[in-house]
Structure 1
Amino acid sequence: MPVVREFTLPDLGEGLTGAEVVRWLVEVGEVIAVDQPVVEVETAKAVVEVPCPYGGVVTARFGAEGEEIPVGAPLVTVAVAPGEGPQPLAEQEPAVERPLVGYGVAERPAGARRARVGAGARSAAPAAAVVSAAPVVPVAPVVPVAPAVVAVISPLVRRIAREHDLDLRTVAGSGPDGLILRRDVERVLTAPAAPVAAPVAEGVVPLRGLRKAVAEKLTRSHREIPAATCWVDADATALMELRAELNRAAGPKISVLALLARISTAALARFPELNSSVTPDGSGIVRHTAVHLGFAAQSERGLVVPVVRDAHALGTEHLGAELARLTEAAREGRITPAELTGGTFTLNNYGVFGVDGSTPILNHPEAAMLGVGRITPKPWVHQGELAVRQVTQLSFTFDHRVCDGGTAGGFLRFVADCVEQPGTLLRQL
């Protein structure tokens, strides 16, 4: 007789306490393989697929789509063939779980997702049922069913389709081997024959997933950190000319963000006290030896802050490559929880939204954030004469517990000098 084993929601890392069920990838009565993803969940950091360490017949699922499941709570139960589990069912002790394989990126045997058992086994275990501790669920002979494979691997693509009630089986994929990409879904949704979504009724929108995590973090930052902001206008004409000159040469193109990131790491080398955070109990200041540079990026899930690890050790070209990689991953919904945590300083380029200034809330528990407004032609006194120059506003928000205004002003002035005279950076190399 098979052994029924329970698989609980694992700790997905970074101290997360739960996750919201986005979509079930298996059904009750389905035969699954070891390490096959069974559910897609959304944490406060990312959307991930969760693989099950057992192979066998799914006998129950726990949690409806949109419901939050705590870490350690049951996800599915699986009827495992004798000898597969480390303990007999009579002992009723949890199994020793296999390590997760890449948050659900392990390959599965072809057709394993759609193999079904007979109707009797299905009716014996409805989707929301709790498996009794006494009886053993009989496993009926497997009835082969033609697999209904949808060629899509991106959680973001599935989510967009689900939000617009789009059946992915009707979408032709333009990727390798017919893989359905985001552009394929958007092409269908924007076609003239596509149905127009009904207006959303007014009401309370629940805070969930990323939005909830952001709200909690910003509220805590605003409540706990005595933040202050200073700002200065800077002539970025020379910086833009340098960028144009660099991009005329062979090699990867250098973005404005990469130059600002390099300026930030040079400024933190001169003012290391700003690369710090206050201890949770407020009794001390932690000085970080490495600069893990966070930067604000817009994604389909909202504003996220990817982190470039050891940014202080990277040159401008390498910084640009890592910034581009993380930005693309955020936009496509592929960024991992580990890439969204551990920052020590944040660079906020809100100029991409067409605004000049901002007083952002600090990214708790970091002590400082550099903000950069749009770079736009403005009247400016240059070498004693009025001229049209490329001007930007720089703002600097800092935790007043880690430094005083003199340090913050010195940091911002150094950044402004590097923007106006990029050659100043040569002194830091």
Structure 2
Amino acid sequence: MTEKVFLLPDLGEGLAEAEIVQWRVAVGDTVTVDQTVVEVETAKAVVDVPCPYAGRVVALHGAEGEVRPVGQPLITVAEPVTGRVDGGDPPGHAVYREEERAGSGNVLIGYGTGHGGARRRRRPRLAVATSATELDGAPTVPPAAGTAARESGPPGAAQPLVISPIVRRLARERGVDLASVRGSGPGGVIRRADVEAAAGDVTGVPADGNGTARLTAVPDLPAVPAGHPSSVDPAAAGAQDLVIPLTGIRRSIADKLSRSRREIPEVTIWVDADATALLETRAAINAARPDGQVSVLALLARICLSGLRRYPQLNARVDTEGQRIIQSAGVHLGIAAQTDRGLVVPVLRDAQRLSTTELAAELAATTAAARAGELPPARLTGGTFTLNNYGVFGVDGSTPIINHPEAALLGIGRIVDKPWVVDGQLAVRKVAQLSLTFDHRVCDGGVAGGFLRHVADCVEQPALLIATV
């Protein structure tokens, strides 16, 4: 038997390493060409990695939670003999086609290995349906699809239902047996909050020398009257610091935001806008087209696209090496979305070509896929302008950091009832704060103020959009 060593492939997008989230096979298992053997997390996304070789697994290089560099051994497979000299098949050995024994070539993450004779076997995924503006909610899962994502285990035993690999890793780190956790999500899906609740009252999960997480329970503390600060020192009570490795997407976020603050001279301006008419317009659209529901975020995206058509200076990036400003021909709209893995910004390419209903559908599908960790790295880069709906967190305003190398970001706060003057009379209206953070190198205040005023005017009078679309 010939042993083949499969190296961690080039993941693209400048990614040089990946963390092993979950092995899908074990030593001794038989794998086929293009079968998914491991799930890894990069700084961009969680992806399945298929093996280009067929045979018996003889070694797994790296434990779950370990970071492996690109080009280092990932899995070793022993290829079986295809037949005896007399033409018969050796007992106990499967017969593989010549092209399977030869492998299927270079691996393309998210697209299989390009082998035409065998199909990649992917783990069944649950259908996810959610609103584009509900960035922190649980995914909606049809009960009938529940068995598709249950963890592997002994036959006949009821297995926990888990969607997110982050939930599985969190359970491992906190020593929680998922089989004992009752999922609070639709169809019994185990969510991150369920694992945290099952972990009990803990303040830290420091790792021991072997990298295994252990729990440090907090002893019972004396009751403190409401409204009075606690006089108990947590450190004196035996609690330990929580050490969180800066890896994967958290490290990518830290690097990008730090670079943005170092390189971009950003300015934030803001304005309050009466969104009453915008909400009425949305209600009218959804009443007329029940099969194509439109979210507030989709309408804001449409308004941004209108503003960028009028002020293309903001749909740009600065090339510091070439000492030039590059205005993008198309609007590749980034949508900031909070996930269990951290803040990600999936991109809708050439968003200006989409209708409002198409924008709404694409936004819902994209944010759902981002939360499920199903977007390939290419969908998380290349944006030219970002829209951030931080109002879902219950805040009115923000001064966000630009998503480098973009030049601008529009944010919207929560829409709440406020006193507002309408035609000289005081009235209660639906008001939201809009903020624009922009790179002062690409434009001056006149352009930025003109863009934000155009957005605010369209929010207050959606009919103005007709003149620009």
Q: 1:98 to 1:167 in 2, by over 3 A?
A: farther
Tell me by how many angstroms 1:368 deviates. Answer: 0.5
CA distance in 1, matches of 2:20, 2:55: 22
Partner in structure 1 of residue 189 of structure 2: 184
- Judge conservation of contact 1:350–1:374 (CA < 8 Å) in 2: yes
Partner in structure 2 of residue 116 of structure 1: none
Question: Which aligned pairs between 1:315-354 and structure 2 lie closer than 5 A?
Answer: 315-354=355-394
Partner in structure 1 of residue 79 of structure 2: 80
Partner in structure 1 of residue 300 of structure 2: 260
Tell me by how many angstroms 1:151 deviates. Answer: 9.1
Q: 1:108 to 1:266 in 2, by over 3 A?
A: closer
Tell me by how many angstroms 1:399 deviates. Answer: 0.7
- Judge conservation of contact 1:3–1:85 (CA < 8 Å) in 2: no
Partner in structure 2 of residue 196 of structure 1: 200
Partner in structure 2 of residue 245 of structure 1: 284
Tell me by how many angstroms 1:284 deviates. Answer: 0.9
- Judge conservation of contact 1:21–1:68 (CA < 8 Å) in 2: yes
Q: 1:237 to 1:38 in 2, by over 3 A?
A: same
- Judge conservation of contact 1:293–1:308 (CA < 8 Å) in 2: yes
CA distance in 1, matches of 2:310, 2:449: 13
CA distance in 1, matches of 2:193, 2:268: 46
Q: 1:381 to 1:213 in 2, by over 3 A?
A: same
Q: 1:202 to 1:164 in 2, by over 3 A?
A: closer
Q: 1:148 to 1:276 in 2, by over 3 A?
A: farther
Partner in structure 1 of residue 48 of structure 2: 49
CA offsets 1:324-380 (integer angstroms, 9 cap, x no match): 001111222322222211111000111111111111000000000011111111111
Q: Gaps spanning 5+ residues in structure 1: where?
A: 88-93, 110-145, 175-179
Partner in structure 1 of residue 151 of structure 2: none
- Judge conservation of contact 1:237–1:420 (CA < 8 Å) in 2: yes
Q: 1:420 to 1:191 in 2, by over 3 A?
A: closer
SS across alignment from 1:364: coil
Partner in structure 2 of residue 234 of structure 1: 273
CA distance in 2, matches of 1:369, 1:155: 29
Partner in structure 2 of residue 210 of structure 1: 249
CA offsets 1:369-410 (integer angstroms, 9 cap, x no match): 011111111111111112111111111111111111111011
**TM-score, length basis structure 1:** 0.80
- Judge conservation of contact 1:154–1:333 (CA < 8 Å) in 2: no
Q: 1:31 to 1:107 in 2, by over 3 A?
A: same
Partner in structure 2 of residue 27 of structure 1: 26
SS across alignment from 2:268: strand
The answer to which of 253-262 and 161-170 deviates more is 161-170
SS across alignment from 2:396: coil
Does structure 1 residue 293 correspond to structure 2 residue 292?
no
CA distance in 1, matches of 2:436, 2:265: 14
CA distance in 2, matches of 1:244, 1:26: 50
- Judge conservation of contact 1:9–1:70 (CA < 8 Å) in 2: yes
- Judge conservation of contact 1:294–1:306 (CA < 8 Å) in 2: yes
The answer to which of 19-28 and 373-382 deviates more is 19-28
Candidates 455, 462, 466, aligned match of 1:422:
462
Partner in structure 1 of residue 10 of structure 2: 11
> What letter matches 2:11 in structure 1?
L
Partner in structure 1 of residue 396 of structure 2: 356
CA distance in 2, matches of 1:5, 1:296: 42
For these two proteins, the number of residue pairs brought into alignment is 382
Does structure 1 residue 369 correspond to structure 2 residue 409?
yes
Tell me by how many angstroms 1:238 deviates. Answer: 1.0
CA distance in 2, matches of 1:358, 1:13: 33
Tell me by how many angstroms 1:203 deviates. Answer: 3.6
- Judge conservation of contact 2:333–2:386 (CA < 8 Å) in 1: yes
CA distance in 2, matches of 1:108, 1:365: 34
Q: Gaps spanning 5+ residues in structure 2: where?
A: 83-95, 113-118, 124-153, 205-239
SS across alignment from 1:185: coil
Does structure 1 residue 97 correspond to structure 2 residue 111?
no
CA distance in 2, matches of 1:164, 1:213: 24
CA distance in 2, matches of 1:4, 1:363: 45
Partner in structure 2 of residue 139 of structure 1: none
Q: 1:248 to 1:312 in 2, by over 3 A?
A: same
CA distance in 1, matches of 2:318, 2:156: 53
> What letter matches 2:300 in structure 1?
L
Q: 1:189 to 1:411 in 2, by over 3 A?
A: closer
Partner in structure 1 of residue 263 of structure 2: 224
The answer to which of 209-218 and 194-203 deviates more is 194-203
> What letter matches 1:196 in structure 2?
G
Candidates 440, 443, 452, aligned match of 1:403:
443
Tell me by how many angstroms 1:75 deviates. Answer: 0.6
Tell me by how many angstroms 1:287 deviates. Answer: 1.1
Partner in structure 2 of residue 118 of structure 1: none
CA distance in 2, matches of 1:74, 1:310: 39
- Judge conservation of contact 2:110–2:376 (CA < 8 Å) in 1: no
CA distance in 1, matches of 2:72, 2:188: 37
SS across alignment from 1:7: strand
- Judge conservation of contact 1:297–1:305 (CA < 8 Å) in 2: yes
CA distance in 1, matches of 2:331, 2:156: 48
Q: 1:187 to 1:270 in 2, by over 3 A?
A: closer
Tell me by how many angstroms 1:210 deviates. Answer: 0.6
Q: 1:280 to 1:52 in 2, by over 3 A?
A: farther
- Judge conservation of contact 2:181–2:194 (CA < 8 Å) in 1: no
Tell me by how many angstroms 1:65 deviates. Answer: 2.1
CA distance in 1, matches of 2:122, 2:428: 61
- Judge conservation of contact 2:160–2:190 (CA < 8 Å) in 1: no
